[in-house]
Amino acid sequence: MEDRFFPVYKRFKPVFVRGEGVWLFDSNGNKYLDLSSGIGVNALGHAHPHIVEKVKNQIEKLSHVSNLFYNLPQFELLEKLASLTKREAFFLSNSGAEAVEASIKLARKFFQGKKWKIVSMHNSFHGRTYGALSATGQKKYHEGFEPLVPGFTYVPFNNIEALEEAIDEETCAVILEPIQGEGGIYPADKEYLKKVREITNEKGILLILDEIQTGIGRTGYFLAEEFYEIQADVILLAKALGGGLPLGAVCTTKDIASVMTPGSHGTTMGGNLVACAAGIAVLDTIGNEKFLREVREKGTYLQGKLLDLRNETPLIVDI
């Protein structure tokens, strides 16, 4: 069976057949504590009852209609996103990479061809589709796929001088992760990110925050930008947003979104009704301030215990 797949993953041996809360069960009946959450996807665990109920109810009524028509699950999801993200306009996709692709087109379209370059960070990760790959500042992912999409410049993370030097009159946007994820869990310094916002405002260019991993309560705030006390022009969401179903979102203002006219972008499956139903259940739960406060409290507790453990063994480099 293994030879049926493209050899793009180094898969582990267990074949998982069921999940319940934080637990996974394989085909041999073994039980595993899931500490990866499907790479940041299952923020509420497996088979969460509210997600199951919402998905079951929706799929029994209607699973898909074209985005040429309106539908109620998208309306409900976007109202919740508007309230939680403080944004006005949204594009729904199937994944984080698709959200990144849409944001690249949005940034370039916003400046109508006058500005087109985008500054990204060394060690960043934004996805593996061509535009997202081009925005990713890791050479190992580029190898074998050049030439990439032109116009991307990479600068050291947390280095404001390098960022200022990289921005010129043709720069339309800066894209970064508030906390670099796949690159190794490197957080932006608070003052650095505030300065990035200040510079992008002064230069009249867009700040795109890739919150595909840090968003949806991952940091104890619905968006990491809340901790950093800034507001980006564009926020990208995915992973935990769909609660295990494929769902991503580009979140911005009506003014910025207004440049995307009919036909300038689109998707067949993005914003699928069943995925939106799952997303509604996720936002119902994680969008609650009491829930987020508990995430912060438990995160602080866990960090403390892990730091204690680090002092007991040289095998742990950092927390």
Residues annotated as part of the active site? 125, 210, 239
Three-state SS at 152: strand
Residue 226, number of CB atoms within 10 A of its CB: 15
Exposed e or buried b per residue across 176-215, where buried means at least 16 C-beta atoms within 10 angstroms of its C-beta: bbbbbbbbeeebbeeebbeebbebbeebebbbbbbbbbbb
Asked if 57 and 63 touch (Cβ cutoff 8 Å), the reply is no
- Straight-line distance from the first to the last Cα atom of the chain, in angstroms, rounded to the nearest whole number: 38
The Cα–Cα gap between 112 and 81 comes to 28
Phi, psi dihedral angles at 32 (to 5 degrees): -130, 140
Residue 288, number of CB atoms within 10 A of its CB: 13
Query: In which element (H, E) is residue 248 found?
Result: strand 248-252
Residues 209, 95, 267, 271, Cα dihedral to 10° = -90
Exposed e or buried b per residue across 3-28, where buried means at least 16 C-beta atoms within 10 angstroms of its C-beta: eeeeeeeeeeeeeeeebeeeebbeee
DSSP 122: B
DSSP 40-107: HT-TT-BS-HHHHHHHHHHHHH-S---TTS--HHHHHHHHHHHHHH--SEEEEESSHHHHHHHHHHHH
The Cα–Cα gap between 77 and 276 comes to 6
